[in-house]
Amino acid sequence: MNAIINFASNLIRGASSNKDVFKFNGGVHPHDHKAESTTLPIAQLAIPEKLILPLRQHVGYIPKVLVQVGDFVLKGQMLAEPEGTVSAAIHAPTSGTITAISEQVIPHPSGLPDMCITLTPDGKDTWAQLQPTDWRNTDKKRLVDKLRASGIVGLGGATFPTHIKLRTNGKSNVHTLVINAAECEPYITCDDMLMRERADQVINGIKIVQHLLGAEKCIIGIEDNKPQAASAMTAACANKALQVKVVPTLYPSGDARRLIHLLLDIEIPNDKRSTDVGIQVFNIATVLAVYRYFEFGEPSINRIVTMTGNVEKPQNFEVLFGTPLQSLIAAAGGAKADTTHYIMGGPMMGFDLPNEQVPITKAANCIIATAPDLFPAPPPAMPCIRCARCADACPVNLQPQELYWFSKSDNFEKARDYNLFDCIECGCCSYVCPSDIPLVQYYRYAKSEVIASDKGKEAADLARERNEFRLARIEREKLERAQKHAERAQAGKAEIKSVEANTTNLTLEKDETLAHAQTTTLAPTDKQAAIAAAIARAKAQKVASTPALAADNKSSAPTTNEAQATQDKQAMITAAIERAKAAKLAAIQAGVTPKNIENLSATIQTEINETDAIREKINITTKTKVAD
Amino acid sequence: MIISLYIMLGLALLLGVVLGISALLFKVEGDPLVARIDAILPQTQCGQCSYPGCKPYATAIAAGEADINQCPPGGDAGAHALADLMGVEYKPINAANGVEKPKAVAFIDEATCIGCTLCIQACPVDAILGAAKHMHTIITSECTGCELCLAPCPVDCITMLPIAENPDNWKWKYPVIPIIAVPFEANNAN
């Protein structure tokens, strides 16, 4: 049976015209709605009254602000520099004055405010000094370092800093560059229009990226619903070693891994990157930005945005970053009356924008005005019937129905085991679900819960480590202090001894010098006098510091000192013994007996008696010895 | 009869030797249960459980001296996790130990701070930076929100600021399906 199926599928495959295009599992065919916004060419949007530039426009660390409120900046001047490895710079999209650095609502699914730089344009649009780079005759490493200051990030929507993707550490094993021009999401046409109008620039950009990566091969993947773009690209790269491949329209073929699968029949393992198998993927608009940066020195200050949906004149615009959404809506002829809100990104993966004042950022490839008849509210979700249509549609070969159960019941560990984090949130499962369950929302919820709990665990581990370190430190300090005390006590004793020794030495010296002086009578008398005075001083000091030993000073002989010390010690010991005896006697007289001699067994009693006898004997012998 | 007895005896001896050797070979240093309990505890080191830190509390739970519901920062989820681990019935957090609060970090009003270093000595995770007679400040990323620095401050310049939601720590919400009120007539018509 299988053999027959295989034979049949081989026949079909053989018959198909696209022999070199492969297929991934799943995917859906939503209506593409691309025709609306491709009727008009790309238009230049006028400079708005103010530009709001969020610092958070890319994946990674927030850049460091370089300007202050009131500063005058030129077009293309860097406003914030990248901080940390994964970070991107932000540049002034036009010349003007910085009027605020404050929190403003940003285009983010949370709808929360974040730090933004507000620039009020002066209308003159004066460029700063631009520095084009001769990329053919410059070291690759220097080029990539330069790119770090360009602010260029992946313009397909992922906004990953481009310079990171081009870092090769001297040797690159990337052999194939894939240019992602699939643009699979409905409504979005910015890459389509870009290819139609600026194919030559794109090809130049590809050459630069190919040069930086050292990739021999380059494939441009375009979906077959963009024939004009595909023919423009084919015409532009007719004489070059580039290959334009038209892939069948199937959402989500624009996902990097899906596109690699389509073009090269290579499936990248979930724990590997595409560079591990020698493939790097770039969005077509990113490549163009790279070209403009090296050729003209223009940093990333604008992008092409599709303004479509429920507006009068859907069109693509070249928009400066920071342009408020309302300017874009106005340029597209205004929104129709029944518009409810706006979506950033496509209808499958995009999110609702909080208001019309949010700025256009590097991630904004498309803005869709929505209306109830365009995007009818989904019917209430019904229970999952385990039809597994979602599993059939899933392009990542996950088990969406299982992930749904685990996410719904907060069983996050299990969801993670079922590779929740491989989910690309493409929305195919929600699209095909006959019960209209918002599956992707559950996965997003589960993902952010897992991420938050991981962060919490990390913080707890840090706290534990710091607490343990602190306790260890306190313990160590205590020990050190005790040691220091002991050392000081030791040092005190040693000092006394050394002073004693010094005095003896000095006395001897004095005698010697005196004798010397007497015999030779050459040394000046004042010197002798000075020495004598010093000795006297030292003696006086010693007497003052050790009054207890003052008596010994007279004899000034160490042997007698020691004898005296032993005598003293002996005296103290005998005194202590006397005291103890007296106390014992007093206790006996008072009728107090030691507590532990009650209820003694016979053996212990005999033992005690024996010990007492021995003690008595010793006493007698010592006494007789003393008497002797 | 005798043979089987010998067999059993031989087996017992053999297994005894194996057990003895493995007890030496796979000796566990420390109490793994304490470490597992400690892993669940939030590590705020706040002492609200009446023990001087999370580790001592974990040790006390493992020894059966403390109950599982004495950790307010761990919250209900923590009590559930501890109940699961210890195989005991879940109990809501004991109000005598305190109530679960949203996560907060300490904030020093630097204008009021006199630089007495008392809070530095109180901080269980060394998250306060400063020196005698110099202004102190909190290292926000390392503050556990234990509130132990509040009491010793002689000028009351430390306040607890709840961590606000920002795009960094924002989480997607659990999908809720809004309940739409269906007009009465429409309902009746069905």
Q: Which tokens hold the place of A202?
A: 């794109």
Share of chain A above pLDDT 90, in %: 59
User: Residue A298 has what pLDDT?
Assistant: 93
Q: Evaluate if residue A553 carries a pLDDT over 60.
A: no
Alpha-carbon span A125 to A96, nearest angstrom? 8
**Mean pLDDT throughout A206-219?**
90
Residue A255: band (very low, low, confident or very high) from pLDDT cuts 50, 70, 90: very high
Contact A351, A344 (CB under 8 A): yes
Alpha-carbon span A135 to A294, nearest angstrom? 7
Q: Of B167, B171, B172, which is closest to A106 when you measure between CB atoms?
A: B167
**A470 with B42: Cβ contact below 8 A:** no
Maximal C-alpha separation, chain B: 91
**B125 with A108: Cβ contact below 8 A:** no
Tokens 């198998």 -> residue: A277
A303–B contact, CB cutoff 8 A = no
Query: Among the listed ranges A321-330, A503-512, B104-113, which one has the minimum average pLDDT value?
Result: A503-512
Q: Evaluate if residue B65 carries a pLDDT over 70.
A: yes
**A445 with B173: Cβ contact below 8 A:** yes
Residue A602: band (very low, low, confident or very high) from pLDDT cuts 50, 70, 90: confident
Closest-CA residue in chain A for B173?
Answer: A445
* Residue A429 half-sphere exposure toward CB, CA atoms < 13 A: 28
Identity of the amino acid at A14: G
User: Residue A430 has what pLDDT?
Assistant: 94
CATH number of the domain at A28-370, please? 3.40.50.11540
H helix or E strand, kind and range, residue A81: strand A78-81
User: Residue A585 has what pLDDT?
Assistant: 77
Rounded to 5°, the CA angle B91-B92-B94 comes to 105
Residues 6+ apart with CB under 8 A from A474: none
To test the contact with chain B by mutation, choose from A404, A467, A469 the residue with the greatest count of B C-beta atoms within 10 A, namely: A467
Residue B32: band (very low, low, confident or very high) from pLDDT cuts 50, 70, 90: confident
Q: Evaluate if residue A133 carries a pLDDT over 70.
A: yes
**A110 with B170: Cβ contact below 8 A:** yes
Burial code (b: 16+ CB inside 10 Å, e: under 16) for A555-588 equals: eeeeeebeeeeeeeeeeeeeeeeeeeeeeeeeee
Residue A6: band (very low, low, confident or very high) from pLDDT cuts 50, 70, 90: low
A109–B contact, CB cutoff 8 A = yes
Contact A159, A59 (CB under 8 A): yes
Query: Among the listed ranges A38-47, A237-246, A268-277, A426-435, which one has the minimum average pLDDT value?
Result: A237-246
Q: Evaluate if residue A252 carries a pLDDT over 80.
A: yes
Predicted model pTM: 0.75
**A448 with B171: Cβ contact below 8 A:** yes
Residue A615: band (very low, low, confident or very high) from pLDDT cuts 50, 70, 90: confident
Q: Which of A57, A321, A36, A369 is nearest to A193 (CA)?
A: A36
Max mean pLDDT among A564-573, A576-585, B135-144, B173-182 falls in B135-144
3-class secondary structure per residue, A585-626: HHHHHCCCCCHHHCCCCHHHHHHHHHHHHHHHHHHHHHHHHH
Q: Evaluate if residue A552 carries a pLDDT over 70.
A: no
Residue A349: band (very low, low, confident or very high) from pLDDT cuts 50, 70, 90: very high
Query: Among the listed ranges A117-131, A488-502, B5-19, which one has the minimum average pLDDT value?
Result: A488-502
Helix residue ranges per DSSP H, B63-137: 75-86, 118-122
CB-defined contacts A:B, below 8 A:
70
User: Residue A551 has what pLDDT?
Assistant: 42
Q: Which of A291, A290, A320 is nearest to A305 (CA)?
A: A320
Alpha-carbon span A499 to A491, nearest angstrom? 12
Please provide residue B8's backbone torsions phi and psi, each rounded to the nearest 5 degrees.
-60, -40
**B127 with A466: Cβ contact below 8 A:** yes
Average pLDDT, chain A: 85
Q: Evaluate if residue A227 carries a pLDDT over 50.
A: yes
Contact A250, A26 (CB under 8 A): no
Closest-CA residue in chain A for B170?
Answer: A110
Query: Ramachandran region of residue A93, left (φ > 0), alpha (ψ -120 to 50) or beta?
Result: alpha
Chain B nearest CA to A577, separation (Å): 46
Q: Which residues of B touch A (CB under 8 A)?
A: 38, 41-45, 53-55, 124-127, 142, 144, 165-167, 169-175, 177
Instruction: Calculate the dihedral angle through the C-alpha atoms of B110, B112, B117, B122, rounding to the nearest 10 degrees.
Output: -90
User: Residue A169 has what pLDDT?
Assistant: 64
Alpha-carbon span A273 to A152, nearest angstrom? 21
Alpha-carbon span B82 to B54, nearest angstrom? 13
User: Residue A572 has what pLDDT?
Assistant: 83
Q: Evaluate if residue B116 carries a pLDDT over 60.
A: yes
Residues from chain A that touch B165, judged by Cβ atoms under 8 A, are 110, 112
H helix or E strand, kind and range, residue A262: helix A256-264
Alpha-carbon span B119 to B161, nearest angstrom? 16
Q: Of B126, B127, B165, which is closest to A112 when you measure between CB atoms?
A: B165
pLDDT tens digit sequence for A272-292: 888 888 999 999 999 999 999
Query: Among the listed ranges A140-149, A170-179, A329-338, which one has the minimum average pLDDT value?
Result: A170-179
Tokens 């208001």 -> residue: A355
Q: Where are the domains of chain A?
A: 28-370, 558-627
Alpha-carbon span A254 to A32, nearest angstrom? 13
User: Residue A173 has what pLDDT?
Assistant: 83
Residues 6+ apart with CB under 8 A from A595: none
**A463 with B144: Cβ contact below 8 A:** yes
Q: Evaluate if residue A628 carries a pLDDT over 60.
A: no
Q: Which tokens hold the place of A31?
A: 């209506």
H helix or E strand, kind and range, residue A104: strand A96-105
pLDDT tens digit sequence for A12-38: 554 444 457 788 889 999 998 999 899
Q: Evaluate if residue A521 carries a pLDDT over 50.
A: no
Q: What does A442-487 look like in DSSP terms, one character per residue?
A: HHHHHHHHHHHHHHHHHHHHHHHHHHHHHHHHHHHHHHHHHHHHHH
Q: Evaluate if residue A98 carries a pLDDT over 90.
A: yes
CATH class of the domain whose range is B32-97: mainly alpha
**Mean pLDDT throughout A440-466?**
93
Query: Is the model more confident about A502 or about A485?
Result: A485
Alpha-carbon span A313 to A297, nearest angstrom? 33
**Mean pLDDT throughout A71-76?**
94
**Mean pLDDT throughout A236-241?**
78
Query: Among the listed ranges A4-18, A443-457, B174-188, which one has the minimum average pLDDT value?
Result: A4-18
CATH class of the domain whose range is B104-162: alpha beta
pLDDT tens digit sequence for A165-204: 888 765 668 899 999 999 999 999 999 999 999 999 999 9
Contact A141, A284 (CB under 8 A): no
Closest-CA residue in chain A for B172?
Answer: A445
User: Residue B56 has what pLDDT?
Assistant: 92
Contact A187, A308 (CB under 8 A): yes
Residue A519: band (very low, low, confident or very high) from pLDDT cuts 50, 70, 90: very low
Residues 6+ apart with CB under 8 A from A453: A412
